[in-house]
Structure formats: structure tokens, C-alpha cells
């Protein structure tokens, strides 16, 4: 008997009676079912969120913080169960799933401490003017399948803190852990403040179009982000779009190949490369190219691709068949064009599970599809460069602008290079680190707006300026 997971609407765990199957990407077995919601359930969830907003927006901030901490605590207390469930639906190895679960608990706890202080914008002889942040109302949150728990929590926590209520839709590929968390928090959060509903992809446009939702916070592909922007224009909903990336690493000639090989590997292959900010293009200076590319390929040979639930697995399967087919197509295109592989490239489509071998390409051209497109899989093209200016220009020659990194012994110069990269986040000598106190967001077609930090929190509010004339001419 497959476990059935319910939705959270107005504080109750409910179902429609119609179910969607959820598959384990490691073995293609159905491991759970979730409700298939349509317009009717969405309307109920939005009505509950709207009703709850009336009191939640006026609930003292300390109570709102406490409710977020209760969610964080529930996640932490049940981490053992949750990370195993996450691996079974998402595919990532147990240690990485554990990282996501504890990360979600930690990030939400940290976000609960953020402040949105009022600002005095004028205090003159004639007037006192203050700017306060007012919650926008009911938020629609739409989440992808690569970090389902982290992405859900990073929308729920700031929405709650700001005084908004939320209707959240997980990806149909990875809804189970989020719904299990919904069950754990149902009695810890006032009814209607957090609603979590599941459905096929067509539930997304219904959320975007819903007249009683005030804002959409979306994480997912650039293609879907464009549709959301179009849909949200009908009633000018506020939108935050966290979209795709084709993030570049630049490795300067003073980097020690022995020290950076392992880090560069994991910058690209954590979560089987399915990270919006994974290093998807790695530019290595020609002086160290041969040594470093070989060191990365050698390191890769010791990493096991397999079921994330098995001990020793470093890289799990691709999360779903559609994405698997896309990555396989990019690898086939690279083969058809005669690009050189340092390792990997041989996919076995006859097996069970969506496995792609760790694939590293040796200096493919800049216009190769596997370089120019976001692969979102365990694929890493290594490219040679000669000058700093050239590396910066090539890194910036992308429609995306999410993240990037510079690897160098000279961190001052690393910062100078970082300042020239056209991305929302740049790391010097690391990758993937995000802070709950710093804004995370993209430039160009990687989206706009931010999550995390006070800037992220402000996205759930609008500024209201109240100006009082000091010489009261009315009295
Ligand atoms: P996706 O765009 O296919 O789906 C994301 C979510 O949108 C899912 O819940 C899906 O059901 C829903 N959806 C689908 N069609 C919709 C529509 N027309 N209207 C509204 N919602 C709709 O993305 P994905 O394949 O789940 O995720 C992978 C992509 O997400 C990659 O491009 C990756 O780079 C990006 N991503 C970005 C970030 C970031 O923070 N910038 C983080 C993680 C993933």
C-alpha cells in the first residue's frame, strides 16, 4: 500500500479523493500519492489565507517569530524521518538530504530574527514622515523539485514574518516531504496562515491568475518565470522570480590544482548538478588547465553514482524523466559534435532509475549547447582561457546572471574580478554558500527581486509613508 499524503488547508489535513503518483527516481517505483487539486481546492486555500490575513497581519511580531521557530523546531526534531523521505523522492544522497533538512530548519530560524524597522524619512519643523512596511496580503508560493524543502521554507518563513499568509504549491515531482512537514506543523501555526496544496503543473497558472492572491514568489525555470510574469500582469500582482542560471567558475593561474580540484568538483556535482547556482561552466587558466582538468577527472573516478539511500553514493539520479532526457540529449549533442570527454558521457538508457554518469568535457567551444545552456545535471564543461579580461567576458556572455565564482590565491584580485561579473552572487574561493541575512537573487534572465535578508523580507510588503503636518491647521 502506497502512503497517501494530504494537503494543508485552513489548519486541516485534507484531500480531494483524486491522487497523483510520486516516483522514486532511483528505482522508478511509486512511493507515495498526493492530492490532485484544481480550482476548487485552490479557492478554498486562498479563502482560508485571506481570512487568516485579517488577524495575522496584526499579530505581534514576537508571536509570528515563535510560529516560524515552531516550524523550524518540527523540522529539526523529525529530521531523521524527513531526510530519508527527501532522498526517496528527490534522489539526493542521504548526507545531502540531511544538509537540506537541517539547512531548512536553520535558515528559517535565522530568517525569523530579521527586522523590518520603520524609517523616519522626514522630521522637520513642519512635518514628521515615517515609512512603514505593510504586508501585501495573500502570497502564492511556487516551488521546484531540486531543493523542495529549502525552497518551501524560504518562502513560508519570510511571508509569515512580514504578516502575510501563504498558499504554497510544491513541484508535483517532489511534494512528499513538504506535505509531511505540513502535517507536523498543522497544529503549530494558526489556521489559514500556511496552506500547502498539490496538483499538476496546471495548478501553477491557476495560482498566478487567482484574483485574491496579491503576490507570487516563484523559484523555477526561466521559461516558467516568463509565463508567470505574463499571467501576473492581468492584475499587476507583485512577483519575485528566482530562475535559472549558467554559473561560471573562473580559476586563475595562481590556484593550486591539488587544493581546488575537489571543491570545483562539488561546485558542479552536488545534488547531481541540479542546483540553480551550481558551477555549470568552469574556465581554467591555460597555465594550469592540463594539471587541474586531470585532477578533477581523477577525483571524479572515486565518486559513486547510485541510489542516494545507499551508503557511499556521492551523486544520485536525475530527479525526473523529463530532466533526464534533457541531460542525455545535451550529452548526445556533445558526442555528435565530436567534443572530447575527460570522463563519463556513456549513458545506459536500459537500466532502472534516471542515472547519468559523471560527465566532464575537455575544452568544448563556447557555443556548444552543453556550455551555452543550463544543463542541470551531472555535467561539467571545462574551458581554457588565456587572459583575465577574456575569462570575464566569456563568463558574462550569457543570458543568465545568477551566480559565479573566482578561485585565486590573490583574494584582492579575486574581488576585483568578482565586481566585474554580472551576477547577483559571486564567491571568491568557494561556491554554493547562501546566507539568511544577505539578499539572494538574479540579474538578466535569472530573474529579479530577492530572497533572504531584509531585502527578501521587504518583497512581501509595500512601503507606506505616513506624513503628519506638525502645525495642526485643522484643530
Ligand atoms: P519549472 O519551472 O518546470 O517548475 C517550477 C514550479 O513551477 C513547479 O512547481 C511547477 O509545477 C510550476 N509550474 C510549471 N508550469 C507553471 C506555469 N505555467 N505557471 C506557474 N507555475 C508553473 O522548474 P523545475 O524544472 O521544477 O526546476 C528547475 C529550474 O529551476 C532550473 O532552471 C533551475 O535553475 C531553477 N531554479 C532556480 C533557483 C533560484 O533560486 N534561482 C533555485 C532552484 C531552481
**Inter-residue contact 135 to 175 (CB < 8 Å):** no
The pair phi, psi for residue 341, each rounded to 5°, is -105, 130
**Residue 1 pLDDT:** 76
Helix (H, G, I), strand (E, B) or coil at 79: helix
**Residue 473 pLDDT:** 82
Measured in angstroms, how far is the CA atom of residue 171 from the centroid of ligand 1? 8
Q: Does residue 106 register a pLDDT over 90?
A: yes
Residue 246 Cβ < 6 Å to ligand 1 = no
Q: What mean pLDDT is predicted for residues 347-373?
A: 96
Q: Does residue 472 register a pLDDT over 90?
A: no
Residue to substitute in 22, 25, 89, 144 for testing ligand 1 pocket (most ligand atoms within 8 angstroms of CB): 144
**Residue 212 pLDDT:** 98
Residue 220 Cβ < 6 Å to ligand 1 = yes
Nearest CA to ligand 1 atom 39: 242
Q: Which three cell numbers stand for residue 198?
A: 498539490
- Give DSSP secondary structure letters for 274-324: --TTS--EEEEEHHHHHHHHHHHHHHHHTPEES-TTSTTEEE---SSHHHH
**Mean pLDDT over the full length of the chain:** 97
CA–CA separation, 475 vs 471, rounded Å?
9
Nearest CA to ligand 1 atom 42: 276
The residue ranking higher by pLDDT, 62 or 475, is 62
Nearest CA to ligand 1 atom 30: 220
* Residue-wise pLDDT tens digits, 443-457: 999 999 999 999 999
Give the single-character DSSP code of 110: H
Confidence of residue 284 (pLDDT cuts 50, 70, 90): very high
- Give DSSP secondary structure letters for 158-219: HHHHHT-EEEEE--TTS-HHHHHHHHHHTTTS-TTTEEE----TTHHHHHHH-TT--EEEEE
Measured in angstroms, how far is the CA atom of residue 140 from the centroid of ligand 1? 14
Q: Does residue 105 register a pLDDT over 90?
A: yes
Residue 90 Cβ < 6 Å to ligand 1 = no
Measured in angstroms, how far is the CA atom of residue 227 from the centroid of ligand 1? 11
Atom from ligand 1 closest to the CA of residue 322: 25
Q: Does residue 330 register a pLDDT over 80?
A: yes
**Residue 446 pLDDT:** 98
Nearest CA to ligand 1 atom 6: 144
Confidence of residue 349 (pLDDT cuts 50, 70, 90): confident
Confidence of residue 95 (pLDDT cuts 50, 70, 90): very high
In the chain, % of residues over pLDDT 70: 100
* Residue-wise pLDDT tens digits, 71-88: 999 999 999 999 999 999
Q: Does residue 288 register a pLDDT over 80?
A: yes
Nearest CA to ligand 1 atom 11: 201
Other CB atoms within a 10 A radius of the CB of residue 90 amount to: 31
Measured in angstroms, how far is the CA atom of residue 367 from the centroid of ligand 1? 25
Confidence of residue 319 (pLDDT cuts 50, 70, 90): very high
Measured in angstroms, how far is the CA atom of residue 241 from the centroid of ligand 1? 10
Confidence of residue 303 (pLDDT cuts 50, 70, 90): very high
Annotated catalytic residue within 276, 374, 388, 451: 276
Residue to substitute in 221, 268, 274 for testing ligand 1 pocket (most ligand atoms within 8 angstroms of CB): 221
Helix (H, G, I), strand (E, B) or coil at 19: strand
**Inter-residue contact 135 to 460 (CB < 8 Å):** yes
Listed in order, strand segments (DSSP E) in 10-164 are 12-14, 19-23, 30-35, 119-123, 127-135, 138-142
Annotated catalytic residue within 242, 374, 388, 451: 242
* Residue-wise pLDDT tens digits, 376-401: 999 999 999 999 999 999 999 999 99
Q: Of the candidates 400, 305, 300, 319, which has an alpha carbon nearest to the alpha carbon of residue 348?
A: 305
276 catalytic residue (yes or no):
yes
**Inter-residue contact 166 to 178 (CB < 8 Å):** no
Give the single-character DSSP code of 5: -
Q: Does residue 272 register a pLDDT over 90?
A: yes
**Residue 415 pLDDT:** 98
CA–CA separation, 218 vs 241, rounded Å?
5
Q: What mean pLDDT is predicted for residues 139-161?
A: 98
**Residue 245 pLDDT:** 97
Confidence of residue 418 (pLDDT cuts 50, 70, 90): very high
**Residue 475 pLDDT:** 79
Q: Which three cell numbers stand for residue 421?
A: 561579473
Measured in angstroms, how far is the CA atom of residue 242 from the centroid of ligand 1? 9
Q: Does residue 236 register a pLDDT over 80?
A: yes
Residue 154 Cβ < 6 Å to ligand 1 = no
Residue 144 Cβ < 6 Å to ligand 1 = yes
CA–CA separation, 418 vs 431, rounded Å?
13
Measured in angstroms, how far is the CA atom of residue 425 from the centroid of ligand 1? 20
Residue to substitute in 167, 173, 208, 224 for testing ligand 1 pocket (most ligand atoms within 8 angstroms of CB): 224
Beta 12-14 vs 7-9: how paired, if at all? antiparallel
Atom from ligand 1 closest to the CA of residue 172: 11
Residue 227 Cβ < 6 Å to ligand 1 = yes
CA–CA separation, 161 vs 110, rounded Å?
11
Residue to substitute in 169, 170, 172, 220 for testing ligand 1 pocket (most ligand atoms within 8 angstroms of CB): 220
Measured in angstroms, how far is the CA atom of residue 173 from the centroid of ligand 1? 11
Q: What mean pLDDT is predicted for residues 227-242?
A: 97
CA–CA separation, 145 vs 324, rounded Å?
13
Residue 200 Cβ < 6 Å to ligand 1 = no
Amino acid at each position: 500500500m502506497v502512503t497517501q499524503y494530504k494537503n494543508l488547508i485552513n489548519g486541516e489535513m485534507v484531500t480531494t479523493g483524486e491522487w497523483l503518483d510520486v516516483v522514486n527516481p532511483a528505482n522508478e517505483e511509486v512511493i507515495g500519492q498526493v492530492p490532485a487539486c484544481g480550482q476548487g481546492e485552490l479557492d478554498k486555500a486562498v479563502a482560508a489565507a485571506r481570512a487568516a490575513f485579517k488577524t495575522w497581519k496584526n499579530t505581534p511580531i514576537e508571536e509570528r517569530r515563535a510560529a516560524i521557530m515552531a516550524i523550524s523546531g518540527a523540522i529539526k526534531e523529525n529530521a531523521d524521518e524527513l531526510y530519508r523521505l527527501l532522498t526517496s523522492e528527490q534522489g539526493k544522497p542521504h548526507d545531502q538530504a540531511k544538509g537540506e533538512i537541517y539547512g531548512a530548519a536553520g535558515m528559517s530560524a535565522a530568517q525569523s530574527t530579521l527586522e523590518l524597522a520603520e524609517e523616519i524619512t522626514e522630521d522637520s519643523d513642519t512635518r514628521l514622515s515615517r515609512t512603514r512596511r505593510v504586508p501585501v496580503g495573500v502570497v502564492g508560493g511556487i516551488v521546484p523539485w531540486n531543493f523542495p524543502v529549502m525552497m518551501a521554507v524560504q518562502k513560508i518563513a519570510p511571508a509569515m514574518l512580514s504578516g502575510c499568509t501563504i498558499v504554497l504549491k510544491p513541484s508535483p515531482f517532489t511534494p512528499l516531504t513538504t506535505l509531511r512537514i505540513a502535517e507536523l506543523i498543522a497544529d503549530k501555526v494558526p489556521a489559514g496562515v500556511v496552506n500547502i496544496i498539490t496538483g499538476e503543473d496546471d495548478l501553477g497558472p491557476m495560482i498566478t491568475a487567482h484574483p485574491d492572491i496579491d503576490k507570487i514568489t516563484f523559484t523555477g525555470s526561466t521559461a516558467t518565470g516568463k509565463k508567470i510574469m505574463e499571467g501576473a500582469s492581468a492584475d499587476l500582482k507583485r512577483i519575485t522570480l528566482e530562475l535559472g542560471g549558467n554559473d561560471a567558475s573562473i580559476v586563475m593561474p595562481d590556484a593550486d590544482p591539488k587544493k581546488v580540484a575537489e571543491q570545483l568538483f562539488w561546485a558542479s556535482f552536488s545534488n547531481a548538478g541540479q542546483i540553480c547556482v551550481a558551477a555549470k561552466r568552469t574556465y581554467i587558466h591555460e597555465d594550469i588547465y592540463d594539471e587541474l582538468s586531470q585532477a578533477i577527472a581523477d577525483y571524479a573516478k572515486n565518486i559513486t553514482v547510485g541510489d542516494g539511500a545507499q551508503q557511499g553514493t556521492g551523486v544520485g539520479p536525475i530527479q525526473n524523466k523529463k530532466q533526464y532526457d534533457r541531460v542525455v540529449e545535451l550529452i548526445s549533442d556533445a558526442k555528435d559534435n565530436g567534443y572530447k570527454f575527460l570522463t563519463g558521457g556513456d549513458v545506459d538508457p536500459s537500466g532502472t532509475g534516471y542515472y547519468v554518469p559523471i560527465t566532464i568535457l575537455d575544452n568544448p567551444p563556447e557555443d556548444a549547447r552543453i556550455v551555452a545552456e543550463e544543463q542541470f545535471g551531472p555535467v561539467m564543461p571545462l574551458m581554457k582561457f588565456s587572459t583575465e579580461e577574456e575569462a570575464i567576458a566569456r563568463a558574462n556572455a550569457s543570458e543568465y546572471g545568477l551566480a559565479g565564482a573566482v578561485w585565486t590565491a590573490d583574494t584582492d584580485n579575486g574581488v576585483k574580478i568578482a565586481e566585474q561579473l554580472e551576477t547577483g552572487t559571486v564567491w571568491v574561493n568557494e561556491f554554493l554558500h547562501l546566507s539568511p541575512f544577505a539578499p539572494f537573487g538574479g540579474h538578466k534572465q535569472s530573474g529579479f527581486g530577492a530572497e533572504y535578508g531584509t531585502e527578501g523580507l521587504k518583497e512581501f510588503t509595500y512601503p507606506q509613508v505616513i506624513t503628519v503636518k506638525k502645525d495642526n491647521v485643522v484643530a
